[in-house]
Amino acid sequence: MAKVSDMFANEYLTVDDLAKCAGRRSPPLTIMSVTEEDMGNKDKLVVSFVESAKRLPLNKTNAVQLSEDLGDETDDWRGAKVTLGVEKTMFQGKRVDCIRVVLATKPDATAVAAAAAAAQSAGAGTPTEIPF
C-alpha cells in the first residue's frame, strides 16, 4: 500500500525526519553549500548537506547560531559539521516542535575539500544512508 508521505516527499528537512533519528538528533551532517533562495514571501539561507538530499532553510534563530559558531561569512561554512535536533518553541501561541542547530564545529581543510567535491558532483551520486 502506498504512503501519502511518500507520494508528497518534501525536499526540506522536517521535524518528522529528525524524529526518525536516535534521541531526535541527527547524526553529524557536513555542510556542502549555503544558498540564498526565494521562499515565497522572503529570501532565506538554505543549507545543503553532503549526507542528505534534503536541505534546511534557516530561520533567524538557526542562522544566528551558525554564524556565532562558524562565522558571519556563509562561504566559510562549507565542510563544517552540524548536528540538528528537535526542540520546542512558541508559534502562534502554542508550543510546537522545531528544528534547531544543536552543535556546529568549524571545518578543517580536508572537510572543506570533501564538501567542495561533493558540491561539484551533486546529483551524480547517492547521499550517505541516514534515516531521512
User: What is the tens place of the pLDDT at every residue in 22-62?
Assistant: 999 999 999 999 999 998 889 999 999 999 999 999 999 99
* Contact predicate 42/59, CB 8 Å: no
Question: Looking at the predicted structure, is the pLDDT value of residue 111 above 60?
Answer: yes
Place of cell 554564524: 67
**pTM: predicted TM-score of the whole model, two decimal places:** 0.83
Nearest to 13 by CA among 68, 52, 59, 61: 52
Average pLDDT across the chain, whole number: 88
Per-residue confidence at 112, pLDDT binned at 50, 70, 90? confident
